[in-house]
Amino acid sequence: MEELIRLDDVEEAAAGDGHLLWAAQGQHDGRLGPGVRAWRHGTALAVASPDLSARDRLAVKGSADDAARLVRHVLTEVGPTYRPVGRASLIESLAGTIPGLSLFPAFYWMETSAVPDPPAIGVRWLDEVQVKEATSLFDRFFPDSFAQPDDGGTHRWAGIVDSLDSGAPPEPLAVAADVWSAAGCGFLAGVCTHPGARGRGLARAVCGFVLGELVHRYGRAALMVHGGNRSAIAVYERLGMSKRPLAGAQVVVTAP
């Protein structure tokens, strides 16, 4: 097993895999993100990233045999709170090989390196007051979002601020965040639209704006979405994003 210290080494081992690059949370000075550790064994690469998108994540790639040996080693280093995540077929193989690993539902990793068409006029980065106003949107309609306006890990929020009804005061109607972005991979999360404003293309406009900003800044933009969220997937595909299935597993700790 070889532990990788520098971002350049992780980038070489990742071979363009955006999910592994994101997990590395690379800094522009060539370091891995705070607390991030990475290892390589044969064809396999594993990147352990603490508290990334509300989870201790262990992003992994490689052949089934090399990955199984590597993940066993890494879990002894970082502990059972880390969840192996990677190509669905690989994680299914690991769950069948490593005792104590339990699968959880698959999802999609979506990414793009192309800037979408210009979004509709009216999308902008929100100021501090507008971000606080967006908190109510999540409290009412998306309380389970991993990215929240009052989350200190969020970089920036974009949105459309308008009146829901004639005579009503303006408020954030659709928002999305640049959050957990890192060198080589920007990340979009926290997409939320007021139910009364749905069907007007606001979510697509806001996401297109954020994706364009991320691609310009990081060269790549990505997000994660539940496999059953067909409407969101369709929006992201229309914005030029490609998808691939990922799966995850968690260590089930049995009581002594």
Give the chain's mean pLDDT. 92
Per-residue pLDDT of 81-110, as tens digits, reads 999 999 999 999 999 999 989 998 889 999
Structural domains of the chain in order of their starting residue, each with its CATH number: 2-108+246-251 (3.40.630), 123-239 (3.40.630.30)
pLDDT mean over 191-202 = 91
Largest Cα–Cα separation, the chain:
65
Asked if the model's pLDDT at residue 120 lies above 90, the reply is no
- Note the pTM of the prediction, 2 decimals: 0.92
51: left (phi over 0), alpha (psi -120 to 50) or beta: left
User: φ and ψ at 12, to 5 degrees?
Assistant: -65, -45
Determine the pLDDT at residue 153.
61
Alpha helices, H only, the chain: 7-14, 18-24, 64-78, 88-97, 128-141, 202-218, 230-238
Could you report the per-residue pLDDT of 225-234, keeping only the tens digit for each? 999 999 999 9
Q: Which residue has the higher pLDDT, 10 or 168?
A: 10
pLDDT digits (tens, 9 = 90+) for 137-190: 999 999 999 999 987 666 899 999 998 877 778 889 999 999 999 999 999 999
C-alpha R_g of the chain: 19
Three-class DSSP category at 193: strand
- How many secondary structure helices (H) and strands (E) does the chain include? 7, 12
pLDDT of 16: 93
